[in-house]
Amino acid sequence: MRPATSATMNAQITIPARVWGEILLLSLLWGGSFLAISFALREVGVFTIVAIRVLGAALVLWAYVFIRGLELPRAPGVWAGFLVMGLLNNVIPFSLIVWGQQNIPSGLASILNASTAIFGVIVAAAFFADERLTARKATGVTLGFLGVATAIGLSSLQELNLRSLAQLAIIGSSISYAFAGAWARTVLKGLTPQVAAAGMTSCAALFMVPVALLLEGPPSLSHMPATWAALAYLAVMATATAYLLYYRILVVAGSGNLMLVTLLVAPVAIALGTIVLGEDLRPQAYMGFALLAFGLIILDGRLIARLRR
Q: Is residue 17 part of a domain?
A: no
pLDDT one-digit tens code per residue, 144-177: 889 988 888 877 666 668 888 999 999 999 999 9
Better-scored residue on pLDDT, 7 or 185: 185
Q: Is residue 8 part of a domain?
A: no
Q: Is residue 181 part of a domain?
A: yes
Return the H-helix or E-strand segment holding 166.
helix 162-187
Residue 10: predicted pLDDT: 42
SS3 state of residue 41: coil
Q: Is residue 53 part of a domain?
A: yes
pLDDT one-digit tens code per residue, 236-245: 999 999 999 8
Q: Is residue 24 part of a domain?
A: no
CB 170 within 8 A of CB 118: no
* pTM passes above 0.85: yes
Q: Is residue 58 part of a domain?
A: yes
Which residues span the domain enclosing 111? 32-308
Q: Is residue 20 part of a domain?
A: no
Closest Cα to residue 175, out of 225, 119, 95? 119
Residue 225 pLDDT > 50: yes
Which band of pLDDT confidence, cut at 50, 70 and 90, is reported for residue 135?
confident
Q: Is residue 19 part of a domain?
A: no
**Alpha-carbon separation of residue 185 from 9, 83, 160, 163, 292 (angstroms):** 17, 15, 36, 34, 25
CB 98 within 8 A of CB 239: no
| Number of domains the chain is built from | 1
